[in-house]
Amino acid sequence: MTALSPDFKANAAKALANADLQRALLNVKRGFVMKRASAKARLPEFDRLRNEARAIKLHTLSHLDLYLEYYERKVAESGGHVHFAPTAEDAREIILKLCRDAGAKLVTKGKSMVSEEIGLNACLEAAGIEAVETDLGEYIAQMRKEAPSHLIAPIIHLNKETIAEDFRLAHVGLPSDRTLASAADLVAEARTVLRRKFVSADVGITGANLLIAETGTSVVVTNEGNADLTQALPKMHIVIASIEKLVPTLEDACTILRLLARSATGQEITTYTTFSTGPRREGDADGPRAYHVVLLDNGRSEMLGGSFNDMLSCIRCGACLNHCPVYTTIGGHAYGSLYTGPMGAVLTPALLGIDHARDLPNASSLCGRCEDVCPVRIPLPSMLRAWRERDFARGNPSLTERMALKLWVYAAKRPRLYHTLSGAIIKMLAALAGRTGRLRRLPFASAWTRGRDLPAPQGKTFHQLYAKRSRG
Amino acid sequence: MSVSEVNRTKVLDRIRDALGADAPDMWRQVDVRHRLVTHPSGTIPARSLGNHEACLTLFSGMLSSQGADVARVHDPEGIVKAIAAYLAKFELSTELRISEEPVLVTLPWLLAPRLKQIYGEPSAADKIGLSRAIAGVAETGTLFLVSGAGNPTSLNFLPETHIVIVDEGDIVGSYEQAWDNLRGLYGEGTLPRTVNWISGPSRTADIEQTIIRGAHGPKCLFVVILDEQGP
């Protein structure tokens, strides 16, 4: 994975000033959050399922070598092939070779974050193979040469007028006076264009939401049905998935599937959940003649057993993004990484190195909503803190930051001094604010007050009040 | 060693290193085997534990709320009539691409002479598809369809309207019960090439979070429950 645009602070500032983006982000803030809450309310067992899903994932991770070996054997039994890819480059080479051996000219693709992570499309195109994203959002992102900005809603940052302009440019040969005013018009046009791709593709590549060891099965969920047309029609189906997608049994898959859609879109279940095991069987009416699974490591094995082990239980639902005050203010692209929001701020430094992503763990107020909504209860805030500690230990923050912290530590260790100072600062701020009770500008923090006022502290410090109460 | 063997060893060794695990550790092997053989079930939502009639009601209700149309009929004649009525009501094509399931092939099609049955490989031009579900799950109104001889998977996705017949006896409360039934049919640890869970018509909300039906798959899903015991 490469950093897309590493200057987080500049990106965030740009995002705040982008009115279209801010309008689009309201959909995340309102829609997804509300829908998840009502889906959760309809399922009283939701929290118990979260505990169970977490236990399933942690159990699998601590036995990952053994489950992978079993999974591999089951895939082979059903006539499929498993390929291990230690790095992104290995994965690209394996897939490119499979496509070349199949004589592929056109490849259709279901939505896959891992495929984005390894930069698969660019690699295929460089080899003269056309790769077409078929998830509507990914298709539009690909058309615009943009990265997806949300795990499950890749083009949440775009409005339909922009998309209509893109379609007019990209879909040449259609009448120029056609109507593309509504989302329905756009969907209908994409359906027609992509239908032709589906039926003529040589290879279909999908990701996997889950892999099941018991049966050697890959599972993919969609609402559109695009991953199904992608894998059912061509002569070869390639699955690209990372090693931590594995669960032991069909029952374990059910527990996770009960949480996935509810956490992501607030649906009871996605329209389509597809379980694929090997290639077409003898006598089958259709299906791919060959089935390959490429299992990507790319830094994940190094996370096992360490401080970031639990991050490997992530099921990519996007709930932490939807509930994050930072993500819903700046959107996904500002993170400069494929993985965004709280999960991205933990995962990106693990995959790229903290030096390439040191702003991300700091882009959080540690409010804890992400952990509250995570279907597998990943302790995201404490992991963000762990990255901050590592970053600090490496001497990364600037001299001013370190000096300020040192001053604060000096005062905090001396209660008397701390009380005197804080009392004085409170008085000073109250005096500066005057009658409005609000500060429009703060010395040393003008960037912070550019977007908002600081309500001035009222009255006394907590310690003063506490002392007074205990006396009285 | 070939490149693929080197890659395989590299990944598995790294995992064992990180976990501090020895490959032949008996107890870890036993844990894994035990789980795979016993496949213990997690919490099953109480909503799917009702009696059979409650499951049928929940099944239909969930499917309707997810945008599917549902009918309950009492004999094979009822299936043909329900299909004919549905296609007429929405002024849809009368050409049906039918999966070659004995139950579907032997339906009394003569009752609806206007309907034309076509068999064989589905095409992108098909308007109406007809399949049979091997199971229905009440919990979320989910149909289980399996690939096999005469049962092309693409039939579930290519046509604009998908009609699915399910026997009331195959409707169960939870996903786990449906898997157990499939284990009975296909054997432990074995699945058909494709199992499709279908819980409504195809949809997308990618553009401005507006839900539009018929993204790539069927725009309409019509589920006919055959309930020969029923009133």
CB contact under 8 A, B39 and A214: yes
Whether residue B74 sits in one domain with residue B171: yes
pLDDT at A2: 64
Residues B129, B18 share a domain = no
| pLDDT 10s digits, A283-341 | 999 999 999 999 999 999 999 999 999 999 999 999 999 999 999 999 999 998 999 99
Q: How far is the C-alpha of A366 from the C-alpha of A406, rounded, in Å?
A: 22
Please judge whether B191 and A199 are an interchain contact, meaning their C-beta atoms are less than 8 angstroms apart. no
Tokens of A127: 């080899």
B30 band by pLDDT with thresholds 50, 70 and 90: very high
Q: Which CATH number does A47-152+183-301 carry? A: 3.40.50.10420
Residue linked to tokens 């057993």: A305
pLDDT at A460: 79
Note whether B11 and B122 are same-domain residues. Answer: no
Judged by a CB distance cut-off of 8 A, whether residue B124 touches chain A is yes
For residue A471, pLDDT over 70 is answered with: yes
* Residue A420, number of CB atoms within 10 A of its CB: 12
Q: State the distance between the two ends of chain A, measured CA to CA, in whole angstroms.
A: 62
Predicted confidence at residue A398, as pLDDT, reads 75
Residues B7 and B64 grouped into a single domain: no
Lowest mean pLDDT among A12-16, A67-71, B142-146: A12-16
In 10 A of CB B149, how many CB atoms? 13
* B179, part of any domain: yes
Contact A63 B28 (CB under 8 A): yes
Question: Which residue in chain B has the smallest CA separation from A268?
Answer: B140
| Domain match, B142 and B120 both | yes
Rounded to an integer, what distance in angstroms lies between the CA atom of residue A323 and that of residue A320?
5
Locate tokens 């193979």: which residue? A129
CB contact under 8 A, B29 and A287: no
Check if A161 contacts B (Cβ < 8 Å). Answer: no
pLDDT per residue over B169-199, tens digit each?
999 999 999 999 999 999 999 999 999 999 9
Does the structure show a pLDDT above 70 at A4? Answer: no
Q: Identify the closest residue of chain A to B14 by CA–CA distance.
A: A301
Is the Cβ–Cβ distance between A21 and A248 less than 8 Å? no
Q: Do A31 and B209 touch (CB under 8 A)?
A: yes
pLDDT confidence band for A195 (50 / 70 / 90): very high
Q: What is the pLDDT of residue A20?
A: 81
Please indicate whether, in this complex, the C-beta atoms of B207 and A160 are within 8 angstroms of each other. Answer: yes
Name which of A187, A250, A254 is nearest B215 (Cβ-Cβ): A187
Query: How far away is chain A from the Cα of B86, in angstroms, using its nearest Cα?
Result: 22
**Interchain pair A285, B151: CB under 8 A:** yes
- Contact yes or no for B15 and A64 at CB 8 A: yes
B115 shares a domain with B163: yes
Q: How far is CA A445 from CA A150, A450, A453, B155, B191, in A?
A: 31, 9, 11, 62, 61
Quick one: which H or E segment has residue A65? helix A64-77
The answer, for B116 touching chain A at a CB cutoff of 8 Å, is: no
Q: Strands, E, within A306-445: which ranges?
A: 438-439
**If you search the block for the tokens 């506490």, which residue do you land on?**
A466
Q: Which domain holds residue B76?
A: 46-226
pLDDT at A401: 79
* Sign of CA pseudo-dihedral B212, B214, B220, B221: negative
Amino acid present at A70:
Y
* Whether B23 and B50 share a structural domain: no
pLDDT of residue A1: 65
- Residue linked to tokens 């070996």: A69
- Amino acid (1-letter code) at residue B176: E
Q: Is residue B184 part of a domain?
A: yes
- What confidence tens digit (pLDDT) does each residue in A243-298 have? 999 999 999 999 999 999 999 999 999 999 999 999 999 999 999 999 999 999 99
Four-residue CA torsion sign, A126, A129, A135, A136: positive
Partner residue opposite B206 with nearest CB, options A48, A137, A199: A137
In a domain, B127, yes or no: yes
Q: Which of A116-120, A142-146, A442-446 has the lowest mean pLDDT?
A: A442-446
Whether residues B32 and A248 touch (CB distance < 8 A) is answered with: yes
Domain count for chain B, please give it.
2
Q: What is the pTM of this model?
A: 0.93
Interface A-B: count of C-beta contacts within 8 A = 273
Exposure on the CB side of residue B116, measured as CA atoms within 13 A = 7
pLDDT digits 0-9 by tens, B17-29:
999 987 668 889 9
Distance in angstroms (rounded) separating the CA atoms of residues A398 and B128:
66
Domain membership flag for residue B231:
no
Residues 27-46 of B with CB under 8 A from A: 28-29, 31-32, 35-36, 39-43, 45-46
Does the structure show a pLDDT above 80 at B100?
Answer: yes
Q: What is the pLDDT of residues A221-230, one digit of tens each?
A: 999 999 999 9
Residue B51 located in a structural domain: yes
Chain A nearest-CA distance from B231, in A, is 30
Angle subtended by helix axes A64-77 and B26-38, to nearest 10 = 50
Q: Do A281 and B193 touch (CB under 8 A)?
A: yes
- Asked if residues A311 and A259 have their Cβ atoms less than 8 Å apart, the reply is no
**Would you call A272 and B189 a contact, using CB atoms and an 8 Å cutoff?**
no
| pLDDT tens digits, one per residue of B83-97 | 999 999 999 999 999
Chain B residues inside the 8 Å CB shell of A260: none
pLDDT tens sequence across A354-383: 888 889 999 999 999 999 999 999 999 999
Q: Residue B92 falls within a domain, yes or no? A: yes
Would the CB atoms of B217 and A225 count as touching at under 8 Å?
Answer: yes
Q: B76 and B183: one domain? A: yes
Amino acid identity at A384? L
Residue B197: closest C-alpha in chain A: A273
Same domain, B55 and B32: no
Average pLDDT over residues A415-436: 86
B 169-228 near A (Cβ less than 8 A)? 174-176, 179, 189-210, 212, 214-218
Q: Which residues of A touch B41 (CB under 8 A)?
A: 251, 254
Q: Please answer yes or no on whether A65 and B124 come within 8 Å at the CB atom.
A: no
Residue B117 near residue B87, CB atoms below 8 Å:
no
**Hey, of A42, A47, A62, A66, which one would you mutate to test binding to chain B, going by the most B CBs within 10 A of its CB?**
A66
C-alpha to C-alpha distances, A138 to A95, A116, A331, B201, nearest whole angstrom: 20, 10, 17, 20
Question: 3-state DSSP: chain B helix, strand, coil percent, rounded to 5?
Answer: 40, 25, 40
Stretch 94-113 of chain A: residues touching chain B, C-beta under 8 Å: 94
Cβ–Cβ of B195/A284 closer than 8 Å?
no
3-class DSSP state for residue A302?
helix
Predicted confidence (pLDDT) at residue A441 exceeds the cutoff of 90: no
Pair (B27, B133) in one structural domain: no
Distance of CA A271 to the CA centre of its chain: 21
Query: Does the distance separating the beta carbons of A225 and B216 come in below 8 Å?
Result: yes
pLDDT at residue B230 greater than cutoff 90 = no
Cβ-based contacts of A85 with chain B (< 8 Å): 7, 11
Side chain identity at residue B112, one-letter code: A
SS percent in chain A: helix, strand, coil, step 5: 55, 10, 35
Those residues whose C-beta lies under 8 Å from the C-beta of residue A158, and which sit 6 or more positions away, are: A20, A24, A140, A144, B207
pLDDT at A172 over 80: yes
Contacts B124 to A, Cβ<8 Å: 195, 198-199
Ordered by start, the domain boundaries in chain A are: 1-42+318-397, 47-152+183-301, 399-471
Q: CB atoms < 10 A from the CB of A10, how many?
A: 12
Which of A38, A65, A189 would you mutate first to test chain B, the one with the most B CBs within 10 A?
A65
- Contacts of residue A286 in chain B, CB cutoff 8 Å? 121-122, 147, 152-154
Q: Does B147 touch chain A (CB under 8 A)?
A: yes
A429 vs chain B: nearest CA distance in angstroms? 44
